């Protein structure tokens, strides 16, 4: 008898529904799986046989053939264990076909029959809901991922025995977990932000640095901070997420899907409701940064999607590692080619870098810095020109003064700065409505030409700056994008010369050190 069970798989960020076709017939006893199965999928034969035995199901000595359709897509992972086991039971007429109709099944089986959590549940359930499926049976550890999709009834099971009883309409020994309620994103967002307990009010002085951070957050611009040790570079970068616009529901599900594929979602509390903040060590490898492997997985730049990738001690990273960022910064995605196909992961992140101006950190203060000109050039030379060209804002963190440290009054709080950022974000939302662009930093050359028009006086000013600073076309466009954000923060519909002057100043530090 033939049975068909609906399951799913993830390829890069794209999810596909997989039909698990099981045929049980008379013949020499065998158990084979076809349809481009990976080694984990082929090993499901042994897991399923032993799990069914320990669940009280004795398989007859028959020929069992399993096909994973479409057969031209490679299959990997352990999520097919449960659908294969249910498919065998259905083909043996021990479970009625209608019991698993229009139902998505995912899960890994242990030899004892216990259902274990698997990766990539959220994007698969989203795809199933889009295709009209309204019920899913998942391991209890993944049930809340299915419940995030409003149209889906998510049912969590602890073991194979309970799953069989549920499909037969019997009472189970352990309660079936069913969740289908709206997730309170705002409550989770407040909970996550309270857990961080970070605020811009903790930063003493550095008003120019705070202003640059506000502009960067409002337009989602890349930011480079240069300054001596202990000047507050890292302290400010860690507080940037507190002034960024919050994730929308669609963005939250998009980012959470990447974390689900990576196996980094542990509970509903780990649902990404605030923008990600990734801070890798400078010894990170290129593959860990961009993603890859035999079966490709997302790297840190994809995990930072819609959030911040903070590279502290930027000049300590290997130059070839930093240069991996060049293409993702332009294309907003990472494409990994393997013999099994091309895997594309999103990488629309805000790059924030912090670095010292020399190996000892105190240049150009020659009373404290004893680095030779060669050592300084060699140190700064680790940052390639193309990477510098992609930084929208380059700002200097000045050494702290005693009167800044001795102040008892706190600085401006994150919520006040975020209020201005949200106002500027609302202007951008209206401007880019229907274009697919969210922030000024996302604009391409055509959009800059359309939305960053200059008057005669502003055009003349930028012509002088273009020649004087020897700007590239990319740098010129980035100055205009930053100026557009500064104008939005000032609630101005037009880009004025004062906005351009501030944006040009944010490129000045680059020329001072390089």
Q: Average the pLDDT over each of 194-198, 406-410, 480-484, 508-512 and give the range with the smallest value.
A: 406-410
Q: How far is CA 151 from the centre of its chain?
A: 24
> What is the CATH architecture assignment of 2-179?
2-Layer Sandwich (3.30)
- Picking from 186, 107, 111, the residue whose alpha carbon sits closest to that of residue 154 is 107
At residue 184, the pLDDT reads 60
Interval 193-197 mean pLDDT: 63
Task: Judge contact between 349 and 301, C-beta under 8 A.
Answer: yes
Distance, CA of 111 to CA of 53 (rounded, Å) = 9
At residue 293, the pLDDT reads 81
Task: Judge contact between 393 and 212, C-beta under 8 A.
Answer: yes
Task: Judge contact between 310 and 277, C-beta under 8 A.
Answer: yes
- Picking from 244, 218, 245, the residue whose alpha carbon sits closest to that of residue 483 is 218
Chain mean pLDDT for the chain: 89
At residue 235, the pLDDT reads 93
Go through 287-321 and write b for each residue having 16 or more CB atoms within 10 A of its CB, e for each that does not: ebbbbbeeebbbbbbbbbbbbbbbbbebbebeeeb
At residue 404, the pLDDT reads 65
| Fold observed for domain 187-513 | Rossmann fold (3.40.50)
Name the token pair of 114. 């216990």
DSSP for 59-84, written as a single string: PPS-EEEEEEESTTS-B-SSTTHHHH
Distance, CA of 65 to CA of 381 (rounded, Å) = 60
Give residue-wise pLDDT tens across range 356-394: 999 998 888 888 898 999 999 999 999 998 999 899 999
Q: How many other C-beta atoms are found inside a 10 Å radius of the C-beta of residue 236?
A: 23
At residue 263, the pLDDT reads 87
Give residue-wise pLDDT tens across range 307-337: 999 999 999 999 999 999 999 999 999 998 8
- Picking from 273, 82, 104, the residue whose alpha carbon sits closest to that of residue 265 is 273
At residue 197, the pLDDT reads 78
pLDDT at position 233 over 80 = yes
| Confidence category of residue 511, pLDDT binned at 50, 70, 90 | low
Give residue-wise pLDDT tens across range 127-176: 999 999 999 999 998 988 888 888 889 999 999 999 999 999 887 765 56
Distance, CA of 500 to CA of 498 (rounded, Å) = 5
pLDDT at position 183 over 60 = no
Give residue-wise pLDDT tens across range 421-464: 999 999 999 999 989 899 999 999 999 999 999 999 999 999 99
Give residue-wise pLDDT tens across range 287-315: 999 998 877 889 999 999 999 999 999 99
* Helical ranges in 243-303 per DSSP H: 249-261, 286-290, 300-303
Task: Judge contact between 312 and 279, C-beta under 8 A.
Answer: yes
pTM of the model: 0.88
Q: Map out the domains of the chain as residue ranges.
A: 2-179, 187-513
């Amino acid at each position: 008898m033939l049975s068909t069970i609906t399951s799913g798989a993830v390829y890069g960020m794209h999810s596909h529904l997989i039909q698990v076709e099981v045929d049980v017939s008379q013949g020499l006893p065998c158990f084979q799986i076809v349809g481009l199965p990976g080694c984990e999928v082929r090993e499901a034969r042994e897991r399923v046989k032993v799990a069914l035995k320990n669940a009280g199901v004795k398989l007859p000595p028959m020929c069992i053939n399993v096909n994973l359709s479409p057969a031209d897509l490679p299959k990997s992972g352990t999520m097919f264990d449960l659908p294969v086991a249910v498919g065998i039971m259905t083909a043996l007429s021990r479970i009625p076909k209608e019991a698993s109709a229009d139902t998505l099944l995912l899960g890994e089986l242990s030899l004892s029959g216990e259902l274990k959590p698997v990766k990539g549940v959220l994007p698969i359930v989203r795809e199933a809901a889009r295709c009209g499926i309204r019920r899913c049976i998942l391991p209890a550890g993944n049930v809340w991922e299915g419940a995030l999709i409003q149209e889906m009834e998510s049912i969590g099971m602890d073991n194979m025995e309970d799953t069989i009883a549920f499909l037969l309409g019997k009472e189970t020994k352990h309660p079936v977990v069913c969740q289908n309620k709206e997730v309170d994103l705002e409550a989770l967002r407040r909970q996550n932000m309270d857990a961080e307990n970070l605020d811009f009010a903790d930063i003493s002085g550095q008003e120019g640095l705070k202003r640059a951070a506000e502009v960067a957050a409002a337009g989602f611009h890349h930011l480079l901070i240069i300054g001596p040790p202990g000047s507050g570079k890292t302290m400010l970068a860690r507080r940037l997420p507190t002034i960024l616009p919050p994730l929308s529901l669609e963005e939250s599900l998009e980012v959470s899907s990447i974390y689900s594929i990576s196996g980094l979602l542990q509970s509903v509390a780990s649902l990404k409701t605030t923008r990600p903040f990734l801070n890798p060590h400078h010894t990170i490898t290129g593959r860990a940064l961009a993603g890859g492997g035999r079966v490709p997985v997302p790297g840190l730049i994809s995990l930072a999607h819609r959030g911040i990738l903070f590279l502290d001690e930027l000049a300590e990273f290997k130059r070839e590692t930093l240069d991996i960022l060049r293409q993702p910064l332009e294309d907003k995605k990472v494409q990994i080619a393997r013999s099994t196909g091309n895997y594309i992961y999103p990488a629309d992140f805000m790059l924030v870098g912090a670095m010292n101006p020399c190996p000892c950190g105190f240049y150009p203060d020659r009373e404290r810095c004893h680095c030779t000109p060669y050592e300084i050039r060699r140190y700064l030379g680790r940052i390639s020109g193309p990477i510098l060209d992609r930084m929208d804002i380059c700002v200097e963190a000045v050494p702290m003064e005693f009167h800044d440290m001795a102040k008892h009054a706190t600085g401006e709080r994150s919520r006040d700065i975020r209020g201005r950022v949200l106002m500027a974000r609302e202007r951008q939302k209206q401007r880019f409505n229907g274009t697919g662009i969210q922030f000024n930093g996302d604009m391409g050359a055509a959009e800059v030409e359309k939305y960053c028009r200059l008057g005669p006086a502003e055009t003349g000013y930028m012509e002088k700056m273009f020649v004087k600073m020897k700007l590239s076309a990319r740098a010129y466009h980035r100055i205009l994008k930053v100026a557009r954000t500064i104008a939005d923060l000032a609630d101005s519909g037009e880009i004025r010369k004062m906005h351009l002057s501030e944006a040009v100043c944010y490129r000045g530090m680059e020329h001072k050190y390089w």
